[in-house]
Chain A
Amino acid sequence: MATVMRLVNRRILSSAMGQKYVAYSSAAKVTAAGVRAGQALPEKVKIVEVGPRDGLQNEKTIVPTETKIHLIDMLSATGLPVIEATSFVSPKWVPQMADQVEVMKGIGRKPGVSYPVLTPNLKGFQAALKAGASEVAIFGAASELFSKKNINCSVEESLQRFEVIMKAAKEAGVPVRGYVSCVLGCPYEGKVAPEKVAHVAKRLYSMGCYEISLGDTIGVGTPGSMIEMLEAVSKEVPVNALAVHCHDTYGQALANILVALQMGISVVDSSVAGLGGCPYAQGASGNVATEDVVYMLHGLGIQTGVDLSKLMDAGAYICRTLNRKTSSKVAQANCKL
């Protein structure tokens, strides 16, 4: 009925009465637009801090163990609920993470904070458990070529590897987070079909991952592709089990995160000081900066539990040590006001 009335109204646009209806519908549209633009945002967002792992892993300078530990301890004091501590991958592949056991054993574990670690295979899982890990993460890809080039096997083969880890994790009572990379584009394949992302996410979720983090690995996504991908994935995995891991290589991260929130996502990965460049675009940025994400969320009235100034302290610390400028705009603006 409402639609028919709208149709009738447009027909009598030229008449004086029509003008009133047009004005009426414009005002209604503005209010409706305002409601839509601000609607359905989560009250709380969980920030998963990936700086110490994903961030440092993509930094050229090898960071001493004490520095890593100190960074994680500083982050523990900011209110961040999840801090990805390290990766139990072979040091042959990722020298930055060679001190995985020392870091795991050296950090002060704040009660209420999770310290997940990456475990690409059963060996890594076992080593992680031995070092005291109480949560792990596994990394799948939505692109066949990326999977082959990155972890030397097909997507299907990697999923089978993960089933082995899932089984062991279940027995040990250890929760597992699943990552899907290249969800909005692949450096080799280019465009990635949303259905492929949904397929991999569904497999990881059915295997038992409590949360699936969808990563825009090369930062090429925009709100358009983010929404399309999330629509496909949320048909297979409940939205409260999804997270977004946006890279800011093309400056799109915050806009992409905003639309993800509008779609019901309430977990966001980010990296203090925007640590971690992009291995596919030399000198370009990678991870979105936690400070900038928190600034936006707090500005929206969304709770994160994070103390932004303590976070900036941690960012300033690691940048000093790495002898690099922060990639966070909030941090840049604040130190010079």
Chain B
Amino acid sequence: MGNVPTTVKHCLSYEQLIQDYPWLKRWLQEEKTITGHEYPEFVKIVEVGPRDGLQNEKEIVPTEVKIQLIDMLSGTGLPVIEATSFVSSKWVPQMADHSDVLRGIQRAPHVQYPVLTPNMQGFKDAVAAGATEVAVFGSASETFSKKNINCSIDESMLRFEEVINTAKEQQIPVRGYVSCALGCPHEGHIEPSKVSEVAKRLYAMGCYEISLGDTIGVGTPGSMLKMLQSVMEEVPAHALAVHCHDTYGQALPNILTALQMGVCVVDSAVAGLGGCPYAQGSSGNVSTEDVLYMLHGMGIETGVNLAKVIEAGDFICNALRRETNSKVAQATGRML
């Protein structure tokens, strides 16, 4: 430390400081540490069942059922529930009742109800129906972008810029999604740098949070790590979320890896609603119940009541006449 007087050295000594101010030790170790890995103390769950989940279910769900599902979810403690999508009903018939759903739900205080708005038309309709938060969906894969929304990544960014600028004027926060973050059904491998490029653009345009989606669930902790390392050079960890699909059973270890990297927002769907359109019959979204089980088991707070989520899951699975994809729900439903 150079020519520092002994008394000063003594004052600056860590051991002395801790002795004089015991609370300092806790302050210096803010994050929860489990053997060398730091985990966030709190994780925000973004529930995408009513939108991403139902959108990928074959059965068209009546409006009242959607509303009831969202109302049940509102009572669980979930802080964010993606309610619907203002996309043309020609493309996504399941979301044709978007305005009715948004108007019909009971908005719980302290809960956000973002809706998807792929373009200005959708945005206007969303605002007219009372939306207070919206989301835009970019892709890290050119081919996926062209096949999914009929335009290149650059063209989609221009569209989103319009939405985001208008949203800014109306003080409506915008969440950005990047799909195919760990692989594309058409292109296969996706370079992490491509993901960070798209994430950076959305963040720079004004999205408050970027959700990185493993659209076909092919990612593993290895590819998740590399992708996040790349993205975190452009977007701060606190503005990132992971949206993992469980098609290859990798969702929970991928989420765990993301948490170890400092991400503290996780997207999931009650009952694991929503299959994979690229692997027929396979699962898609990770189940909220299974995510909660893991987080709570690690002592990480979410504010969510797992039992109530399981109830909501039971409700929608009965309505859809299908089995839950959640292992926690399966196990607790059948305890002997």
Contacts and interface: CB of A to CB of B under 8 A. Distances in A.
A281 B276 contact: no
B199 to A, nearest CB: 14
B235 to A, nearest CB: 11
A224 B334 contact: no
Nearest to A31: B229
Contacts of B278: 337
Interface residues of B, number: 62
A337 B220 CA distance: 18
Contacts of A7: 14, 17, 24, 28
A34 B259 CA distance: 11
B232 interface: yes
Nearest to A277: B334
A258 B221 contact: yes
A254 B252 contact: yes
Given A222-B296, A329-B248, 7 more contacts: A7-B14, A34-B261, A37-B257, A251-B294, A278-B331, A299-B220, A299-B221
A101 interface: no
Contacts of B299: 224
B4 to A, nearest CB: 11
A180 B287 CA distance: 30
Given A4-B17, A281-B335, A333-B217, A258 B257 contact: yes
Leading 5 A-B pairs by shortest Cβ distance: A299-B220, A222-B297, A251-B327, A329-B249, A224-B298
Interface in A240-264: 248-252, 254-255, 257-259, 262-263
Contact of A333 (B36, B279, B327): B279
Interface of B: 1, 12-14, 17, 24, 28, 34-38, 217, 219-223, 225, 228-229, 232-233, 236-237, 246-250, 252-253, 255-257, 260-262, 276, 278-283, 287, 290, 293-294, 296-299, 326-328, 330-332, 334-336
A258 B297 contact: no
26 contacts: A1-B14, A3-B28, A7-B24, A34-B229, A37-B225, A38-B225, A223-B294, A231-B35, A250-B293, A252-B290, A252-B297, A255-B256, A258-B256, A262-B37, A278-B331, A280-B335, A282-B334, A285-B327, A292-B248, A298-B220, A299-B219, A299-B223, A329-B247, A329-B283, A333-B248, A336-B280
B112 to A, nearest CB: 26
B250 A223 contact: no
A299 B334 contact: no
A257 to B, nearest CB: 8
A93 B283 CA distance: 37
A257 B12 CA distance: 43
Interface in A205-228: 219, 221-225, 227
A284 B225 CA distance: 31
A224 B295 CA distance: 9
